[in-house]
Amino acid sequence: MTRTVITYGTFDMFHIGHLNLLRRLSELGDRLVVAVSTDEFNAGKGKRTLIPFEQRAEIVRNIRYVDEVIPESSWDQKVVDVQRYQVNTFAMGDDWAGEFDFLSAYCEVVYLPRTEGVSTTELKRSLSRFCNVSREDILRAFDVIEQLRKDFG
C-alpha cells in the first residue's frame, strides 16, 4: 500500500529550510503531495509574496522529493484534500503545532521541527533592511572594505 503525505505552504523565497522540510516529509511515506498557497489565498490572510503562485508552484514541482503540487486556495480544503489524495499523513512545520489536530480523525498528523536559523520572515526582514540602506552608505562601506584590503590585504 502506498503511503501518501501531504503538506501546505506558501514557499515564497524558497530556501534550505523548505528543502529540508520537503526531504524529511518525503521520508515519511512513498508519495508527497504539496499544496502551495495561491496569491489570492495569501492576500486573504494578509500575506504578500514576492514570487507569484505559478512560479512558486513550479519551483516546488521540480524538487525531487515532491510527487504532486496542488493549489491551496482556502483553509477549509484540507479535509477534502486528505480524502481526495488518500492521505495517510498530514505534516507541517512545528510552528503550526496543534493547529491541525482536527485532521487526526482522517489521518496521522505530524509536526516537524524547523531548520534552525532560517525563515522566510527573517529573509524578508533582512531584504527590507538591505533595501533601506542608502546608496551613499553602500558606497562608503565599499570604500571602507577597499581601505581594509589595502591596509591588511
Catalytic-labelled residue, pool 45, 78, 124, 150: 45
Which residue do the cell numbers 496569491 mark? 39
pLDDT given at position 122: 60
- Domain of residue 58 covers 4-116
Decide: pTM greater than 0.85: no
Number of C-beta neighbours around residue 134 at 10 A: 8
Do residue 56 and residue 123 come from a single domain? no
Catalytic-labelled residue, pool 47, 78, 124, 150: 47
150 is catalytic: no
Domains in the chain, number: 2
User: pLDDT per residue over 43-62, tens digit each?
Assistant: 999 988 888 999 999 999 99
What CATH number should be reported for the domain holding residue 30? 3.40.50.620
Q: Which pLDDT band holds residue 143 (cuts at 50, 70, 90)?
A: confident
Do residue 100 and residue 124 come from a single domain? no
Do residue 107 and residue 135 come from a single domain? no
Do residue 25 and residue 37 come from a single domain? yes
What percent of the chain shows pLDDT beyond 90?
61
The DSSP string of 40-67 is: HHHHHTT---SS-HHHHHHHHHTSTT-S
